[in-house]
């Protein structure tokens, strides 16, 4: 699922996404593991919180963009977020 990738792009921890979306950390983990597919309300809550943090979800039907995925909106501040070479298990919580 795209939730884990989107969360990593924003630099949010599981607890931060849980607080922003009104979900429990366990619900966020279930979404990331694909176990939360039966709870559309949980997915939408996480999606809206991530969109508010600057994530754009790309639908699978968008041929111009190469299929489904996530990306960040263009930043207007000096905050560069987490650079791809700095993404690791230590900041994936």
Largest CA distance in the chain: 39
Q: Give the domains, in start order, of the chain with CATH numbers.
A: 1-72 (1.10.260.40)
Sole residue written with tokens 């791809």: 84
The three-state secondary structure class of 92 is coil
What confidence tens digit (pLDDT) does each residue in 48-68 have?
999 999 999 887 765 565 667
What pLDDT score does 51 carry? 93
The number of beta carbons lying within 10 Å of the beta carbon of residue 69 is 15
pTM of the model: 0.68
Instruction: Assign 16 a pLDDT band (cuts: 50, 70, 90).
Output: very high
Across the chain, mean pLDDT equals 81
Which segments of the chain does DSSP mark as H helices, in order? 2-10, 14-21, 25-33, 40-52
pLDDT at 80 (0 to 100): 62
pLDDT of residue 74: 72
In 3D space, the residue among 3, 42, 51 whose CA is nearest the CA of residue 14 turns out to be: 3
pLDDT digits (tens, 9 = 90+) for 24-39: 999 999 999 887 665 7
Sorting pLDDT into bands at 50, 70 and 90, what band is 79? low
* Residue found by looking up tokens 């429990």 in the block: 24
Confirm if 28 and 17 have CB atoms less than 8 A apart: yes
């Amino acid at each position: 699922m795209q939730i884990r990738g989107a969360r990593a792009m924003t630099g949010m921890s599981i607890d931060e996404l849980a607080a922003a979306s009104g979900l429990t950390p366990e619900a966020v983990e279930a979404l990331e593991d694909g176990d939360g597919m039966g709870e559309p309300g949980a997915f939408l809550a996480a999606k809206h919180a991530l969109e508010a943090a600057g994530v754009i979800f790309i639908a699978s039907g968008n041929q111009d963009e190469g299929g489904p995925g996530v990306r960040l909106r263009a930043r207007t501040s000096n905050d560069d977020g987490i650079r791809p070479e700095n993404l690791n298990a230590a900041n994936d919580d």
